[in-house]
Amino acid sequence: MTPSPPHALLTALLCLLPWCGAAGRELAVLDNPDCRFGGAFEQEKSIPGLDQALVSSGYYLFDCDAGIVWATRDPLPETLVMTLDGRQYAVAPDGAATQRPGKLQSAIGDLMLAMISGDEERLREDFELSANDDESLHMAPRSRRLRRALDHVLLRRLATDDGMDETPGVTVEIVTRDQQVILVRAQQEEVFATSELLGQRCAELLDAGTQACRLLAGDAEQPAATP
């Protein structure tokens, strides 16, 4: 477990933008050996009719062989687990886990997992990609399933208040069909040599014990879906 320069996460997302010079390799993370990593995130959710955005923060862990743990710590603890085979779980602070069947939650979870894992084929299949003049990337959903949940997604570098690039980091802006705006700022801060080391870090970080970590690793019994 060591600090890292901008590597898999940053390369996976920023190389979708025009200044990435390797044609045909927009998601170079597919060839990156550092496929287990983690970092901090901040999230703002703006809902029509509310004057103030809902702000949360936490930590994520990604394993290229398993999926992602997305652990919100503030203001309220909530842990989401998204596996590479498409399963999504919500894990409560007491360790109780339920599957998440909602269309919007599923669409956003699939999107974040595809971007962080560098699943180029999935992204190109699901979204029409176009570069904007401000060097952001516009992603318009192709499939009917995604269009029912999402309006569009914008991807750009994470910048400081003075406009300078902050390394490493990205901002993902998700606009839903009902005009909710979800703004996610994520950084890559650690890489792990093995799934075992990532699992140890997972257990250290999460107040819910090891249930979320075991779900990610496939070592826990799958909980029933919520009605």
Dihedral sign from CA coordinates of 58, 63, 64, 70: negative
Question: Tokens 């993370």 map to which residue?
Answer: 29
Does 222 map to a domain?
A: no
Q: What is the pLDDT of residue 223?
A: 64
Q: What is the pLDDT of residue 149?
A: 85
Domain hosting 128: range is 2-217
Does 41 map to a domain?
A: yes
Does 195 map to a domain?
A: yes
Does 104 map to a domain?
A: yes
For residue 170, give Cα distances in angstroms to 13, 90, 131, 185, 186: 7, 24, 15, 6, 6
Q: How far apart are the first and last CA of the chain?
A: 39
- 42 token code pair: 């901040």
Does 227 map to a domain?
A: no
Does 125 map to a domain?
A: yes
Concatenate the DSSP letters of all residues of 71-120 into one string: EEEESS-EEEEEETTS-EEEE-TTS-EEE---HHHHHHHHHHHHHHHT-H
pLDDT digits (tens, 9 = 90+) for 105-163: 677 777 777 777 667 777 888 888 887 777 778 889 998 888 888 899 988 776 555 55
In angstroms, the CA 184 to CA 64 distance is: 21
Q: Are 79 and 206 in contact (CB under 8 A)?
A: yes
With a cut of 70, which residues of the chain have pLDDT below it? Answer: 1-34, 100-105, 117-118, 158-169, 207-209, 220-227
At 152 the three-state DSSP class reads strand
Does 225 map to a domain?
A: no
In angstroms, the CA 129 to CA 136 distance is: 11
Per the structure, how many domains does the chain have? 1
In angstroms, the CA 14 to CA 10 distance is: 6
CATH code, domain carrying 93: 2.50.20.10
Does 184 map to a domain?
A: yes
Q: What is the pLDDT of residue 56?
A: 94
Q: What is the pLDDT of residue 168?
A: 58
